[in-house]
Each structure stands twice: as C-alpha cells, then as structure tokens.
C-alpha cells in the first residue's frame, strides 16, 4: 500500500532524514520517499495515516494530511 | 543535571527542532538547547547519555558523545 502525505517544515537533507527515520521507526519494512521541494512524503507499507501523523509530528514537523496521488 | 553533547548532521532549524523533540519525547521535563553552528546540544534533565544517544540517532543524526562543558 502506498500513500502520499503533505509535510511542511522540512528545509534540508537533515529534515528529510529525520522524517524518514521517524516513519521507518514505526515500521522497519516501510519505504519512505521524500520530495523536499514539494514536501510530499510517499510511504509504502502498512502504516496507518494516524501513525504517520504521529511520527511526523513527533519529529517536529507539520502533518498536512493526504496529498493528491 | 546538565550535560553537553556533540551532534552532527544538523544544518537548519528543522533539524534543531527534530533533535529537540526526539530528546524531549524521552523526558518531557527535560530542557534542550541546541547551538547549530557548533552542534552542541545541552540537555537539562535526568536523561542518561545512552538515552540521548538513542534519541539523536533515532532522529537520523550522528551522536558524538560528551562535549567539553
């Protein structure tokens, strides 16, 4: 299952790594791809939207819900 | 108790927020201060060095141990 979310507040590669790690910490089998310019985070795996939201917000970034696919 | 640690890989305010949140998630009573140019993270609270290391590395940054006080 793949889902795209909007995340704001990421401004550099460190932010990208941080968001990626926060999500994969919830499911090590998940694949996370971040597009920094658009703030779109693509998550491939079994994580619910709520879990992704918790991970993103826990890392200090703003979760903006589903992005257009 | 206050301790200073070296953290590398932080390059912007988003990284600072991320490291700060990762540490305070382990102890909401802790106070975290990050000096971005030097990469020195000051943690005021009861967290052990191992816990801070886990938090920093979990957020995707490199933990460099104690910094000179």
pLDDT in tens, A13-22: 999 999 999 9
Which of B12, B22, B58 is facing A14, going by the closest CB pair?
A: B12
* Distance to chain A for B19, nearest Cα, Å: 8
Q: Which chain B positions have a beta carbon within 8 Å of A34's beta carbon?
A: none
pLDDT digits (tens, 9 = 90+) for B11-36: 999 999 999 999 999 999 999 999 99
Q: Residue ranges per domain, chain B? A: 2-66
If pLDDT is split at 50, 70 and 90, which confidence band does B68 have?
confident
Distances (CA, A) of B33 to A25, A53, A63, B36, B38: 24, 25, 24, 9, 12
CA dist A27 and A39 (Å) reads 21
Q: Looking at residue B67, what DSSP letter applies?
A: P
Architecture of domain B2-66: 2-Layer Sandwich (3.30)
């Amino acid at each position: 299952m793949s889902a795209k979310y909007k995340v704001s507040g990421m401004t550099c590669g460190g932010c990208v790594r941080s968001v990626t790690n926060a999500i994969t910490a919830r499911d090590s089998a998940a694949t996370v791809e971040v597009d920094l310019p658009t703030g779109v985070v693509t998550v491939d795996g079994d994580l619910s939207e709520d879990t992704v939201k918790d991970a993103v917000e826990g890392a200090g970034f703003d979760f903006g819900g589903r992005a257009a696919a």
